[in-house]
């Protein structure tokens, strides 16, 4: 507040001081002016204090308004600060949420990276497999190309053979039937010799006979008679039941664990004579030798055996005995599958010998197995096949005779 703003109800009278008064005059002047100044104050009218009062009231009003607006502004600032604080907390919550989301996203990214790593490894393996497959396909393509070349060569050979057939047979339908009959007879011989397939050979012979019958030429009667004889041979031929024999061998192999290994004992024990008891009082120096001999006979027992003694097998070696017997039976099955009579019989003989030598013959399983092996040894798994080549020879002789009578250029 300035000095010019008077307080309400207070009148300040400022009298300027005279510059450079003399000391005597100053005292006189002070005494002379004191009373008139007091009177002047008392005599000032009241209307002179209204302006300062109004100014003071206006100042108070202005201060109050300013204080009111300041208070309002302070409240507004507090509200703004509260709102800013709320927004700040909300922003912090959002930031925390975003941090958690970022952490989850980071974990997900790491998991995806691990999954991508695994997928990359799987893709690498698949790529390697694809490369191997491509290499195999290239090799297969090369083999197919080679086979294609072979087929082309075979086709050329077949074309030459067909041209030769056309040259030899001509255009006559009867000659075509004879050529088919010859081809069927060759098939019958090949199936019988190479594959030992009597059924296919019999069917081929029957078809060849039908082709010769369709020619309606009685000149083929002799060839048809030979074909009928060959068919009769095949009908009476009994091929060994290889499937049944293989099944019997499998059943015998399953029974091997039930066999009991024979004990390498010397024989039954001899019955010793009963000792005659002596009274304790009867013992003396004379009977001492008899007592020692009786005790020795009780300690040592003699067994008699009319066959050579075999060494007993240790328990850990018994397993190999069973397994070796199984191997011989399996080898017999292999010989049966290959139609190898020597392999089949040799292994069956070894199995029968082992049953007699190492296993208890009184056991029912061993006796039944030995009997079954003895029956199978007598079976001929590769009997001699009947000869059906006479039909083909008869047909070729008939064809040569026809060529000699009528040259190939004449129908």
Residue 290 included in any domain: no
**Same domain as 151, residue 89:** no
* pLDDT at 150 exceeding the cut of 70: yes
Q: Output the pLDDT for position 285.
A: 58
**Same domain as 361, residue 256:** yes
Q: Output the pLDDT for position 207.
A: 92
332-350 as b/e: b if 16+ CB within 10 A: bbebbeeebeebbbbbbeb
**Same domain as 367, residue 256:** yes
Query: CA 106 → CA 96, 98, 103, 119, 340, distances in Å?
Result: 15, 12, 5, 19, 73
pLDDT digits (tens, 9 = 90+) for 96-132: 998 898 888 889 888 988 888 888 888 888 888 888 8
Question: Can you tell me which residue has the tokens 């087929």?
Answer: 151
Helix (H), strand (E) at residue 306 = none
DSSP calls for 30-95: HHHHHHHHHHHHHHS-GGGGHHHHHHHHHHHHHHHHHHHHHHHHHHHHHHHHHHHHHHHHHHHHHH
More reliable by pLDDT, 276 or 137: 137
**Same domain as 257, residue 187:** no
Residue 302 included in any domain: no
Residue 110 included in any domain: no
* pLDDT at 249 exceeding the cut of 60: yes
Burial (Cβ within 10 Å: 0-12, 13-18, ≥19) of residue 162: exposed
**Same domain as 376, residue 254:** yes
Give the range with max mean pLDDT: 149-163, 274-288, 290-304. 149-163
Domains held by the chain: number: 4
d(CA 262, CA 362): 9
**Same domain as 57, residue 3:** yes
Residue 355 included in any domain: yes
From 390, 9, 49, select the one nearest 232 (Cα to Cα).
Answer: 390
Reported as a pLDDT band with limits 50, 70 and 90, residue 168 is low
d(CA 323, CA 256): 9
More reliable by pLDDT, 253 or 315: 253
d(CA 191, CA 239): 14
Domain that holds residue 218: 171-239+386-405
Three-state DSSP state, 261: strand
d(CA 181, CA 326): 49
**Same domain as 200, residue 142:** no
**Same domain as 352, residue 252:** yes
Query: CA 185 → CA 205, 228, 394, distances in Å?
Result: 6, 12, 11
pLDDT digits (tens, 9 = 90+) for 42-81: 444 455 568 888 888 888 898 988 889 889 889 989 888 9
Percent of the chain with pLDDT over 90: 7
pTM value?
0.39
Rounded mean pLDDT of 233-261? 84
Residue 231 included in any domain: yes
Helix (H), strand (E) at residue 252 = helix 242-255
Rounded mean pLDDT of 170-194? 82
Residue 282 included in any domain: no
**Same domain as 255, residue 178:** no
**Same domain as 376, residue 260:** yes
């Amino acid at each position: 507040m300035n000095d010019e703003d008077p307080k309400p109800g207070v009148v300040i009278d400022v009298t300027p001081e005279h510059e450079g008064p003399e000391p005597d005059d100053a005292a006189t002047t002070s005494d002379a002016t004191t009373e008139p100044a007091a009177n002047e104050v008392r005599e000032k009218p009241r209307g002179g204090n209204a302006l300062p009062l109004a100014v003071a009231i206006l100042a108070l009003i202005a201060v109050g308004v300013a204080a009111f607006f300041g208070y309002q502004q302070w409240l507004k600032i507090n509200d703004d600060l509260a709102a800013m604080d709320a927004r700040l907390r909300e922003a912090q919550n959002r930031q925390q949420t975003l941090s958690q989301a970022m952490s989850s996203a980071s974990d997900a990214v790491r998991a995806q990276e691990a999954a991508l790593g695994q997928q990359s490894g799987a893709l690498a393996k698949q790529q390697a497999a694809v490369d191997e497959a491509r290499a195999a396909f290239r090799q297969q393509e090369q083999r197919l190309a080679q086979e294609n070349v072979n087929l082309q060569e075979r086709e050329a050979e077949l074309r030459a053979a067909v041209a030769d057939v056309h040259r030899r047979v001509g255009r006559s339908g009867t000659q075509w039937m004879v050529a088919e009959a010859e081809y069927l007879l060759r098939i019958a011989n090949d199936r019988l010799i190479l594959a030992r397939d009597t059924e296919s050979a019999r069917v081929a012979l029957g078809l060849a006979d039908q082709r010769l019958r369709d020619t309606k030429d009685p000149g083929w009667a002799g060839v048809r008679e030979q074909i009928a004889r060959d068919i009769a041979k095949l009908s009476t031929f009994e091929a060994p039941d290889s499937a049944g024999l293989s099944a019997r061998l499998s059943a015998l192999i399953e029974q091997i664990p039930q066999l009991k290994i024979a004990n390498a004992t010397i024989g039954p024990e001899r019955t010793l004579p009963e000792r005659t008891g002596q009274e304790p009082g009867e013992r003396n120096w004379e009977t001492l030798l008899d007592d020692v001999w009786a005790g020795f006979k009780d300690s040592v027992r003699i067994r008699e055996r009319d066959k050579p003694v075999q060494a007993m097998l240790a328990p850990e070696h018994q397993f190999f005995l069973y397994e070796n017997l199984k191997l011989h039976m399996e080898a017999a099955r292999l010989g049966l599958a290959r139609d190898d009579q020597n392999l089949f019989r040799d292994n069956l003989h070894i199995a029968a010998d082992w049953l007699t030598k190492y296993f208890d013959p009184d056991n029912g399983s061993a006796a039944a197995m030995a009997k079954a092996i003895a029956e199978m040894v007598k079976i001929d798994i590769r009997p001699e096949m009947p000869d059906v080549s006479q039909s083909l020879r008869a047909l070729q002789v008939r064809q040569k005779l026809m060529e000699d009578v009528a040259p190939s250029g004449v129908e």
